Amino acid sequence: MDKARHTNTKTLDRTDSIPLATRRAVLAAGGAVSLGSLAGCTALDGLLDRASEEAVGTKMASPAGFYAGGEIDGVTAYRSGPVDVRFVPPSLRAEDRRIDVDGWSTTTTTKAQDYNSSRSNKPSSIWVPDPRDEDSDDDGIGTLAGVLDTERALLVYADAAIEAIDGRSGDDATAALEAFSKATTTVRGALEDCPSETCKTVYEHADGRKDLAQDASDAVGAGEWDSARRSMQQARRIVQGDIERIRGDLDSDGDGLLDGTEPLYNYLDGEPTIGEHFVVSLPDASVRGGGPALAEELTPERVLAYFFGERDADSCGESDRTVAVHRDLSCRDLLTSTLELDDGFDLGRPDDIDKKDIRRGVAAFGTSGGVVVTGASPAAVAEPMARVSGRLPGESDCCFDYNNSWGEETTSGEAAVSETFVIPVAATPADSPLAMPALFFVRRIRHEDQLLFVGGWQIDDGALYENSATLLTADGPNVVAGVTRSDIEDGGIDLEKIVSDDRVVRKKPGRTKYSNITLQSQYDPDAEYLPAGAHSVCRDDGDLYCWGVQSHESLARHDTRDCDDDDADVRPSAVTTALDAPVLHLVGAGKASNDVKFKAGAELSKSVN
């Protein structure tokens, strides 16, 4: 820890720092002479600066950033680009004066090459890029995209019911028929207010299909298997016809892409931005005497709001708040992409979010040594957001929560690492013609009397491609390594040694070198970069896993035990990045100039040998 900064927090009652009578006279002048009124008085500039430091305590911060990763092979790897370092000082209100404190940010962008051509799985039909413009002509396209997913699930349930009927399995047939009827009710509800002719036709068919399923159920109960089969075959033909009818509306040119999504997939064919990472470093500052504190003011809700919505909106500054962050944050200009929440997602009222009002959710799964988070269909066991730790007990699924707390902190060496918030968003990179589905994540770390807000976003592959999933992984808290300027010059940091030290945090050997690199490959549960105990696609215990929650259709396949991860033609793929990537934090630079910190912030990864 920088001794000068540390001492600065301890000098409130020392008589050799500022003459107490003088300082107290200034601060207790009944408002007639405030700190603000002294600004610009040359004779008192030194006193004013020192009084500000005494009023706030620690004011110093230094840049931090994610480790860029080591040498890897055997998997497609997309690395972060050059580091953008900025000085982003916030301010706190003390009396009638604003006191600026240090603030730094580092951001990186991850670009891919030929993102489409590096895969064998087909584009999905569940993502509509702009939900607010999709139905401007009352064609029901946005509604039909969701209905098509449910119709495809209906086909799975119908096939399962027919197979069970042929096998004279009453229990299996009854389960499949109940799921078919429930999904039919879902379709009917979704189409109730849709004005297009296709919507009206499918809506009218819904009652007939449900009646046929009820006839089949009655026949199964009576042991009339042939009658049950005829009813479900007729229902299946209706479903198949509705699927073709909807596809005709959604994909008028038959190219396999939803109308209007072609520009997005063309963008992904080039060198698209598929993710970004950031670290914001602020002092753990507070105004003496019960005044505002950065740690208390910067709640999860407030921090999340700095990343979602219109960039550079009118009146986006925070000059009227007791703690005001830098304009790059308050005006959502820190990242290069624009991130937006679904219209049904209200950060201020998370408990009231209806899954029917969101297009994507998140699901988290525990492994024996960590956690895996993925995007998910609201039809599955998805939640609007997740708050996860880096390590879950045993095989437990993780708990979902949201309030003004960053959650339980885990000690990692000299750092205290909070839980991570994961939220589905629509991300529009600066050079992209349309928004893409993505998963945003952020957590808070306390280190060296500073607050580090670390996170980023990653493309949600499961919403764009069939039989694929984005996996955000962790097997503990982030390793936070203090880096000196000499470390940067000499490469003096040994991360593998750090992660093998039980006093810090023990991690699976080999994971550290992958850092925040985005990896794309066929899924292998034994891969070095996954947490220990990662499940196979078709779990041995039969429970849901990441690929079963991507769509209503994939959920239906899980429900009917139609899961196959051995067939090379349908081998599931994964896009993986770490929630617990190592963070490198410049230390011992309290008295260094901003120019020195700028340079060091851009070269932190050089410190790793």
CATH code of the domain covering residue 244: 1.20.120.340
* Cα–Cα dist 408/58, whole Å: 24
Cβ burial, residue 377 (10 Å; 0-12/13-18/19+): buried
515: region left, alpha or beta (phi > 0 left; psi from -120 to 50 alpha): left
Q: Identify the three-state secondary structure at position 226.
A: helix
What are 220-261's pLDDT values in tens digits?
Answer: 999 999 999 999 999 999 999 999 999 999 998 988 888 889
Query: Does residue 385 belong to any structural domain of this protein?
Result: yes
Handedness of CA 559, 562, 566, 572 (dihedral sign): negative
Query: Does residue 443 belong to any structural domain of this protein?
Result: yes
* 570/441 same-domain check: yes
* 295/146 same-domain check: no
User: Nearest CA to 202 among 251, 165, 150, 159?
Assistant: 150
Query: Does residue 207 belong to any structural domain of this protein?
Result: yes
* 270/251 same-domain check: no
* 582/440 same-domain check: yes
* Cα–Cα dist 288/394, whole Å: 44
Query: Does residue 502 belong to any structural domain of this protein?
Result: yes
The tally of domains found in the chain comes to 2
Query: Does residue 52 belong to any structural domain of this protein?
Result: no
Query: Does residue 458 belong to any structural domain of this protein?
Result: yes
154's enclosing H/E stretch is: helix 141-166
* 589/531 same-domain check: yes
* 423/545 same-domain check: yes
pLDDT over threshold 80, residue 190: yes
* Cα–Cα dist 16/5, whole Å: 16
Residue 322 has phi, psi (to 5 degrees) of: -65, -35
Query: Does residue 186 belong to any structural domain of this protein?
Result: yes
pLDDT at 6: 35
CB 508 within 8 A of CB 63: no
pLDDT over threshold 80, residue 123: yes
* 484/545 same-domain check: yes
On the CB side of 499, CA atoms within 13 Å amount to 20
> 47-51, 99-103, 190-194: lowest mean pLDDT where?
47-51
The tokens for 49 are 């600066």
Q: Identify the three-state secondary structure at position 374.
A: strand
**Considering the entire predicted model, what is its pTM?**
0.88
* 402/457 same-domain check: yes
Q: Identify the three-state secondary structure at position 346.
A: coil
What are 43-65's pLDDT values in tens digits?
Answer: 434 444 555 556 677 889 999 99
User: Nearest CA to 318 among 302, 338, 304?
Assistant: 302
More confident residue, 8 or 561: 561
* 437/562 same-domain check: yes
Last residue of one domain, picked from the residues 217, 237, 257: 257
Share of the chain above pLDDT 70, in %: 83
pLDDT over threshold 90, residue 320: no
* 481/371 same-domain check: yes
The tokens for 478 are 């982030």
Query: Does residue 513 belong to any structural domain of this protein?
Result: yes
Crossing angle of the two packed helices 225-250 and 170-191, in degrees rounded to 10: 30
pLDDT over threshold 80, residue 309: yes
* Cα–Cα dist 284/434, whole Å: 39
* Cα–Cα dist 397/374, whole Å: 13
256: region left, alpha or beta (phi > 0 left; psi from -120 to 50 alpha): left
With cut-offs at 50, 70 and 90, classify the pLDDT of residue 387. Answer: confident
Last residue of one domain, picked from the residues 257, 277, 305: 257
* 447/574 same-domain check: yes
* Cα–Cα dist 74/521, whole Å: 9
Domain containing 167: what range?
Answer: 141-257
pLDDT at 568: 54
* 522/584 same-domain check: yes
301's enclosing H/E stretch is: helix 300-305
* Cα–Cα dist 235/208, whole Å: 8
What are 167-177's pLDDT values in tens digits?
Answer: 999 999 999 99
Last residue of one domain, picked from the residues 240, 257, 274: 257
More confident residue, 425 or 317: 425
* Cα–Cα dist 161/174, whole Å: 8
